[in-house]
Amino acid sequence: MRQRAELFAGFAALIVLGVIAALAGGSGEAATSTEFVPSTFVATPGGAEGLLDAITRLGIPIRRWRERPVGLASYASMPRQIMVILEPDLAHPISAPELLQLANYSATSDLLIAGHTADHLMRCFGYKVDWHPFDSVRVSGLGSNPPKVGANLVATNATTFADTTRTFDVGRAVCHVPVYQSVTTLLDSPRGPLVIRLVRSDNGRQIILAADAGLFSNRDLRSTGAGVFVLGLFAGRYDRVTFDEYHHGYGGSGSLFAATVAWSRDSPWGWMAWQLAGVGVLALLFGAVRFGPAIPAIVRRRRSALEHVRALATALSAAHGHDEAVAALIQGLRRRLAPPALRTRSDWRRWLDHLMARSRSTDERAAIARLQTLAEPGQPSSSVLDAANTVEELWQKLHP
């Protein structure tokens, strides 16, 4: 009856834990993530995989750059190529040395830079981002369904920009703002330009600056007028488009474990796996609790040497080896009592006679005499057990 009650209690606890884990694991939000991550590896509304697919459908080759910008120096240049940098992740920002590498790369390739987290790179080209996190900027020129943006561009009117974030180890990174032959506002707002195109005077390369990277997200490309505008920046203009994915955390240093954990946070299947793991751990902890008193252990006493001798004597007696058993017992006593120099294979009967002659105690002489009698042929089966007891008695009396 007690076992049934314990089994029922265990199943009830498991069901309760499963319900608690399901309620705790459910976020109450939609299964599709709304987080803004403008990466071409992300297919959610806040990702940029739709932009990559659309450019591919236009017949333009694409590449995802997942290395440090220092490798761009060996990247084959083309007359019509552009590198797209969409709002670097705060956990993987553009460092001061990388700032100079990307600024110098504009001498061999066009650049598209978007997002307020790339503000210090835009300053190398004479502009900064005026960000309005709690207020949207009205977009002009995108029809009746314009996207919502939260920033605009402002000219710095500076000729140089110094990044001092790595002064302690690599020093100041200073970039010089190039001279432009033309500055064109591609997308405007009452607060200032949202997207501009800069054309360098020295090499004719173009730099496109966008204040808000949300214009390139899957959501805005599909549901607002930003889709036609953004694709017009690439269609018929370039033979290759390169997307910077290193500053979104997709560099070679990433791990499969980190990617798996990130997927499990955003996927319903991942939530289910975490809930099942939590239920299993809690069930294991609850199963470790013992119900009822502890079962007393069986005390097993170790057998004495005399018990082993008696067991051997009984076994030999059952095999009708009385004489051999008694002789073996006496020889074992001789091995324990005689010095190593006197342990020979001589007749044990003579050794008993010699032991009788040396003995001065009446009890010892009686025990030796009884042992000599038991060693004679024709004794009953009980003689083996008597001999074992006599040998043990002599050992207790004679051993030093």
> What is the structure's pLDDT at 300?
72
For every residue of 115-158, DSSP letters joined together read SGGGHHHHHTTTEEEEE-TTS-B--BSSTTSPPPB-EEEEE---
Instruction: Count CB atoms within 10 A of the CB of residue 59.
Output: 9
- Measure the CA–CA gap between 386 and 375, rounded to whole angstroms: 11
- The angle, 0 to 180 degrees and rounded to 10, between the axes of the packed helices 322-337 and 382-398 is 10
- Measure the CA–CA gap between 128 and 193, rounded to whole angstroms: 11
**Residue 119 banded pLDDT, cuts 50, 70, 90:** very high
- Measure the CA–CA gap between 113 and 207, rounded to whole angstroms: 8
- Reported as type and span, the H/E element at residue 70 is none
> What is the structure's pLDDT at 24?
57
- What mean pLDDT value characterizes the chain? 82
310 token code pair: 């008696």
Find the mean pLDDT for residues 164-177.
82
Find the mean pLDDT for residues 217-230.
92
For tokens 């009446």, the residue is 362
pLDDT in tens, 334-356: 877 776 655 566 677 777 878 78
DSSP label of 76? P
- 3-state percent breakdown (helix, strand, coil) of the chain, nearest 5: 45, 15, 40
What's the distance, CA 173 to chain centroid?
37
Global pTM? 0.60
> What is the structure's pLDDT at 121?
94
pLDDT in tens, 229-275: 999 999 999 999 999 999 988 876 656 777 788 778 777 888 888 88
> What is the structure's pLDDT at 54?
94
**Residue 56 banded pLDDT, cuts 50, 70, 90:** very high
Range list of β-strands (E), the chain: 62-65, 81-86, 110-114, 127-131, 151-155, 160-163, 173-176, 180-189, 192-200, 206-210, 240-244
pLDDT in tens, 273-317: 888 888 888 877 777 666 666 667 777 777 666 676 667 667 766
Percent of the chain with pLDDT over 70: 82
